[in-house]
Amino acid sequence: MNPPSKKRPGQPVLATDWNRIIDALIARTPRPGLGLELVASPSGFTFRMRPRAPSGGSAVAECPFGRLTTWTEGEGQAATTKTGILGGVVYAGDKVWNVEPQELNLEADGEFLVWLEVGVTANKEDGVLLPGLETSTEPQWQQGALAAGYPDISVPEADPGTGTAIVALGSLTIEEGTATFSKTGCGNLRITHCPGNLAHLRVG
């Protein structure tokens, strides 16, 4: 839509001319678009990019006992960044353990297996093992050579009724200061016991 031709002084402005001016202004007025917003200024209009909210998918999902993580210790110039395997919660008997991340030594190149050891005491009555656990000791991070494999589970026996749960977490590779971790699973842990069997479940 083109605006009407200019008028000389004294010439009337017709309604059709006025409407053509309005239509021309509308046709030439910038409009915001996808990712753009319109900003008015004394010299006219300009465009700028709309600020975007962070995408939910960009955040690192939690994966207790199943992924590498980093954190900062200290403040200011004394602050250092640590790399480790994310901890989580372990439920075992009457205990609920909050396990902190396990720091890695990135200067020690090699291939390793990583696991948790949890000492447990089974339920008993009159010297007979019962399902479930009475209590547990604090979980301990362990790391060993890949070629050696995971250690064996120590299943509780009637006397003394104690054992050791081995929770295999995955394989770790450290090369030239960079760590990669191949997890066996993801989630917090519940240690379970039936007479003759000691195992674990991944829980939310």
119-144 per-position pLDDT tens digit: 999 999 998 999 999 999 999 999 99
Count of domains observed in the chain: 2
11-66 per-position pLDDT tens digit: 777 777 767 776 766 666 666 555 555 555 555 555 555 554 444 444 457 999 99
Report the alpha-carbon distance of residue 124 to residue 147 in Å, rounded: 37
Residue 35 domain boundaries:
15-49
Do 89 and 43 reside in the same domain of the chain?
A: no
Report the alpha-carbon distance of residue 136 to residue 92 in Å, rounded: 6
Do 33 and 92 reside in the same domain of the chain?
A: no
Structure tokens at 174: 């450290």
| Residue among 193, 128, 125 at smallest CA distance from 158 | 128
The answer to the question of residue 6 being in a domain is no
Prediction pTM value: 0.69
